[in-house]
Amino acid sequence: MVEIEQLKAAYGFHTAEWVIPGETLKTERGVKTIKWWENHHLMNWHIQWREALDNRGVCLTNRMIRTKDHEMSFLCSEGWMTLHDEVTSLFSYQGREDELAALIEGVINTGYTMDSRYAANEELTEKTITEAVGELPDSVDPIVVSILKKTMDEAITRYKKAERLPVSQLEKLPVIDPLAGLDNGKEIFGQLFWSFPGKAPEMGYRSISFFLRDYLAAYGKVCFERLLESLDESKTFDEAIVIRVLKEALLPWDFVDAVKEISGKKGEEASELLEKMYQTWEQSRALVTALSTWFDGKREKVAN
Of residues 301 and 12, more confidently modeled: 12
15-46: per-residue pLDDT in tens? 999 999 999 999 999 999 999 999 999 999 99
Tens digit of each residue's pLDDT (9 = 90 or more) over 188-216: 999 999 999 898 999 999 999 999 999 99
Rounded (10°) angle between helices 239-250 and 142-164? 160
Rounded Cα–Cα distance for residues 301 and 290 (Å): 17
141 has a pLDDT exceeding 50? yes
Mean pLDDT of 90-115: 94
pLDDT tens profile 246-281:
999 999 999 999 998 888 777 778 888 889 999 999
216/260 Cα distance (integer angstroms): 25
Categorize the per-residue pLDDT at 302 as very low, low, confident or very high, splitting at 50, 70 and 90.
Answer: low
Is pLDDT at 304 greater than 60 in this prediction? no
- Rounded Cα–Cα distance for residues 192 and 185 (Å): 7
Average confidence (pLDDT) over 80-100 = 94
- The predicted structure's pLDDT at residue 301: 63
Beta carbons of 278 and 201 less than 8 angstroms apart: no
Instruction: For residues 184 and 27, give the distance between their C-alpha atoms in angstroms, rounded to a whole number.
Output: 23
Would the pLDDT of 300 be above 80?
no
pLDDT of 129 over the 50 cut: yes
What is the spatial distance between Cα 159 and Cα 253, in angstroms, rounded to a whole number?
9
pLDDT of residue 201: 95
- In the chain, the largest separation of any two C-alpha atoms, in whole Å, equals 68
CB 209 within 8 A of CB 176: no
In tens, the pLDDT along 209-259 reads 999 999 999 999 999 999 999 999 878 888 999 999 999 999 999 999 999
Residue 58 has pLDDT above 70, yes or no: yes
Task: Name the nearest CA neighbour of 97 among 15, 12, 23, 192.
Answer: 192
The alpha helices in 56-201, defined as continuous H runs, are: 97-111, 126-134, 142-164
Average pLDDT over residues 52-81: 93
Instruction: Tell me the C-alpha distance between 214 and 15, whole Å.
Output: 40
How far is the C-alpha of 44 from the C-alpha of 270, rounded, in Å? Answer: 39
Who's near 1: CB < 8 A, 6+ residues apart? Answer: 21, 22, 78
pLDDT averaged over the chain? 91
Q: Give the pLDDT mean for 276-301.
A: 89
DSSP letters, 106-140, are HHHHHHTTS--TT-B-----HHHHHHHHHT--TTS
Q: Which helix (H) or strand (E) holds 25?
A: strand 24-27
**Is the predicted pLDDT of residue 105 greater than 50, yes or no?**
yes
For residues 304 and 204, which has the higher predicted lDDT (pLDDT)? Answer: 204
The closest of 114, 106, 102 to 203, measured between CA atoms, is 114
Global confidence as pTM: 0.92
